[in-house]
Chain A
Amino acid sequence: MPNEQKLDDSDRFNLMLALTGLLVQGEEYEIADLVKHFGVSKNEIIKAVKMISFTDLMSFNDFGHYLVDYDDLDDGYVSIKYDFSNAVDEVPRLSSRQASALAAGLVYLSSLPGLVDNSEIEELQKILASGDSRGAAPEVIIKPGSRDADLVIIRDAMAKGVAISCDYLNLRGVTTIGRVIEPLRIDPQGETIYLRGWCPESQDVRSFRVDRMRNAKATEIAISAEARAAVLSDEIYSPAETDSIVTVEVDPEAYSLIFDFKPVEEPESISAFVKRFKIKVGDVRNLGRIIARFGGAARVIAPESAKAAVREFALKAIGENSPSAPRDVE
């Protein structure tokens, strides 16, 4: 279940519609279950139920209330009875935007191998289209490129609760054959799929890019208690004390860097659409390829050592040597 969200007026109205649609079916629910089911706080559920109960249609009818027992509410239970029909008495449809956002999310899921059958997605898409108030088709299509079969193996291993082994090419370009990883969670982020896993060797959580793996196999080794107890942060990259701070400037064509790097503070607008921000970098030598790939749309402003790393990478790529560039130690 998602973390409890912060609600604004439109969210609350939306929650009231949904709750009414559910509760008028006549069943009694534990508030704690509703909190879990809707992913909002207990307070928001109670507030929404109370607001529903304040509604009246007395001006149009002799009766007209959603009836809620406040004693039950205090005891942690909720049910709604109503003494009129033809107001909100079922779950309302989605708006086009709501349907479209969910449909796009489903298409994204369907691109991840081994997670869902296309038939499952198609069925859900059909239901969504029927519940879109305009009956419209999805407005957003996401269809990433090729995907690794390795992901299917990883998901199988996770289901069985065992570690995997694979050949892994690390950032420095070194391949480890038969590296053992205890898989904990798969984090697909746009085009890149990460495996968050426990590394038994370093006794720590590590992030692995699935596209740098080869020959993944499920092992017989059960996922350890240490791995199961590990806490996964939302961030793929955890900054270290030794990281350098680098200032980068980007045109819109390279805005993706802002999201890849999670700047240390809000990006600053330099001109209409040029942004400047500071990032933490473990090893500035890795910056060369990351910046140079944009062919000019991303620029390192400081420090000098990071600029030199980018220059070095670009010059080496076109077969020239940079006299002032630092020697690569490794």
Chain B
Amino acid sequence: MTNKPSNEYKVSKPERLFSLTCALLYTTRGLTKTEILRSVRGYDTEYVEGGDNSSLERKFERDKESLRHNGIQLEARIPAHEDENNQATVYLIKRESFYWPKDIKFTPRQLALLNLAAEAWAGGSLSTAASRGITKLRAMGSVGEDSDIVGIAPRIQAYEPSFRDLNNAVSDYQVVQFDYRNPQTGEIMTRTLQPWLLRQVAGQWLVMGFDELRQDTRNFMLRRIVSKVTAVKAGKDSVSFEPPAKHLIDAAVADLDALAQKQTALLRVKPDTEAWFRFELDLSSAKHTGEVELHYHDIYVLAEQLREYANEIEVVRPESLAALIRAGFEKVADQHA
């Protein structure tokens, strides 16, 4: 029962990538580019023996990139005896880098949680990556069993246009550049960053990394990026950076959290208003003072959140917060005059 398509059949890209993957997994000594183009399905029919195969070679270069994007680690080796001879480079995929560690199986509940985690990105910045990831994971769960997780439809919100580019740069260890607006002065400066991590804090997305201008770790709020995020290039190639040590990332995360612990604001809230609900003041408590203390990372974001409750709260301290809220309202009143 060998299956053969008809003669006019054109091999599609997914099929070619699949055949290439099979061939590179199968080989133990590696295949040279010529061997691949001559014999792997999807290239073989277009290969011209002794002729110009440059467009086919470009196709192979693009396919290598596609495999890498799918998490397939393609290895390129020059056999020892061929010393520096690029033509002799052989390609292969190592089994241990390709497959999951043995014996991983997901329970229906675990798979349902992972499904939900993928769905949370629906229509969002990472929806493609999440849905491809979950497709693979589903192959490791039992088909046809249901789980108890129903009645919830979560959505992660990441609407900043820079999110996806930054996330890719984090994955690929790529140095990036963007224009950033200072919230205090409104001044726009070009920043160069080695992005380490995307993090959501109090509803705001931050990219954390090494700022090449300040020569130190810095956080940038995605909403204040006012340009496209571009890869920094040296000649034709993107500049990459050394993966940061885990302890550096942890320290940067801890620093930011410590900052919030240090910065507090005191508010007085009118009873039974929406702000009262928002700040979770207990309605039933007999002796409430109506005062609430908040920790914050960023005074501009806090001012924005508090403006919504302007008529229900009074900022006791810090004075700078009260001033910021007021300045914002004055600007709005002017703009809408």
Contact = CB atoms under 8 A, between A and B. Distances in A.
Contacts of B66: 10, 13
Interface string B246-269: 100000010000000000000000
Interface residues of A, number: 137
B326 interface: yes
Contacts of B69: 10, 95, 97
Contact of A105 (B38, B121, B337): B121
A109 B116 contact: yes
A97 B100 contact: no
Interface string B321-334: 00011111111110
Contacts, number: 411
Interface in B292-337: 303-305, 307-311, 324-333, 335-337
Contact of A102 (B26, B118, B272, B331): B118
Contacts of A98: 71, 129-130, 132-133, 136
A42 interface: no
Interface stretch (B79-87, B167-175, B211-219): B167-175
A244 interface: no
A221 interface: no
A90 B151 contact: no
A20 B104 CA distance: 16
Nearest to A209: B277
Nearest to A318: B329
B104 A21 contact: no
Contacts of B224: 252-253
A139 interface: yes
Nearest to B71: A95
A175 to B, nearest CB: 7
A67 B3 contact: yes
Interface string A73-110: 00000000000101110111111111111111110110
B97 interface: yes
Contacts of A11: 128, 131-132, 135
B144 interface: yes
A169 interface: yes
B4 to A, nearest CB: 8
Interface of B: 1-5, 9, 11-15, 17-19, 21-23, 25-27, 38-41, 44, 66, 68-73, 95, 97-101, 104, 106, 110, 113-122, 126, 128-141, 143-144, 149, 151-157, 159-161, 167-168, 170-171, 181, 197-203, 223-227, 246, 253, 272-274, 277-278, 280, 283-284, 303-305, 307-311, 324-333, 335-337
Given A13-B70, A140-B197, A252-B223, 6 more contacts: A12-B14, A67-B3, A101-B129, A112-B152, A141-B200, A258-B159
29 contacts: A2-B122, A9-B13, A13-B18, A18-B136, A33-B143, A54-B9, A56-B19, A65-B3, A91-B136, A91-B139, A92-B71, A92-B72, A94-B136, A95-B72, A96-B171, A109-B117, A123-B110, A124-B114, A127-B106, A134-B73, A185-B153, A211-B277, A214-B277, A289-B307, A289-B308, A291-B332, A295-B325, A296-B328, A318-B329
